[in-house]
Amino acid sequence: MKQNKNVIVVENVTKAYGNFLALKNVSFSVKDGEIVGFLGLNGAGKTTTMNILTGCISYTKGKVKILEYDIFDNSLKAKQNIGYLPENPPLYQNMTVFEYLKFVCEIKKVREIKKEVERVVGLCELKGKENKLIFGLSKGFKQRVGIAQALVNSPKVLILDEPTSGLDPAQIVKVRELIRSLKKDHTVILSTHILGEIQAICDRIIIINNGEIVADETEENLLRAYKNSYFVKVFCSSKEKLELALSEYKEFLSMKKVRVNVDKTIEFEVNIKQNDPDFLTKISNALMENKIPIIEFKANQVTLEQLFIKLIEKKV
């Protein structure tokens, strides 16, 4: 049974390039057996974070630990527990799949090389490709070889940077299935700018924007936290009349004209940033008292895409 302990811990990490801060006091942790998605726009700080986690680049201040080993103070121990797939895997195109994975095993000082190559080939569904030159493989199979090299020697932590970048839809599905299957034996953190990737694979979402963490939650909890709003569609003769009727509650509302009808009544959508039943009743009563007919009254269904945009624009 898995112990629910942190295997990746990042504390107040800042990365500066001169006066530019690529990361600003970034903190998060990843528990044993989790698949965590690191989501952000291009340039948000995802790859910088991945490079720091793997010890490829240093940070200006803060602390990073992999299985309690500091990534720089005890780098050898930390890195022995990491498998890394860069966005562009460093594959040797003139080697066969077997030769390349054998080479990786030798670097990682694996004792039973043939057995280990067979194991990762099986995990990544590369059977029959062992004697093929990497140069001649499709992009999808090259990505599988990249994941296979990351799995050599069974590292506890897998760090995958844009693992489905450049793949076609069928290849993306296969690679996602492969990543999901790794959860039982590995802790996985993957960086991406693709929302579908997060929803298809990850247990938790960390959203980074301009070098800062702006959200760290499960998709369900994120949506629950931000879906608590309602909208009411009404008929009214003017926006002024509607604003007057709801003036007491204006700080919790936004109004949008939808269309003008033949009878010159105007349809408005009023977005309500509250889900308190008493507050909703007050809104409804105010409209009825001012003889403003209600067409529709329902909850907003916020999507992950809408939430992502709100968060990166810092509007919530």
Please report, for the chain, the start and end positions of each structural domain, with discontinuous segments joined by +.
6-81+155-224, 228-300
At 293, which amino acid appears? P
pLDDT attached to residue 301:
65
Indicate the pairing of strand 82-85 with strand 69-70: unpaired
Q: Using alpha carbons only, what angle is made at residue 187 by residues 23 and 125, rounded to the nearest 5 degrees?
A: 115
* Termini Cα distance of the chain: 39
Q: For the purposes of burial, counting CB atoms within 10 Å of the CB of 82, is it exposed (0-12), middle (13-18) or buried (19 or more)?
A: buried
CATH code of domain 6-81+155-224: 3.40.50.300
Q: Do domains 6-81+155-224 and 228-300 have the same CATH topology?
A: no
- How many whole angstroms separate alpha carbon 160 and alpha carbon 183? 13
Q: What residues contact 177, with CB distance under 8 A and at least 6 apart?
A: none
Q: What is the pTM of this model?
A: 0.77
186 contacts 30 by C-beta, under 8 angstroms: no
Class of domain 228-300: alpha beta
pLDDT per residue as tens, the chain (316 positions): 455 799 999 999 999 999 999 999 999 999 999 999 999 988 899 999 999 999 999 999 999 999 999 999 999 999 999 999 998 888 999 999 999 999 999 999 999 999 999 999 999 999 999 999 999 999 999 999 999 999 999 999 999 998 988 888 888 998 899 999 998 899 999 998 888 888 889 999 999 999 999 999 998 888 777 655 677 888 888 888 888 988 888 888 877 777 787 777 777 777 777 667 788 888 889 989 998 888 877 766 677 887 888 788 764 4
Which DSSP letter does residue 252 get?
G
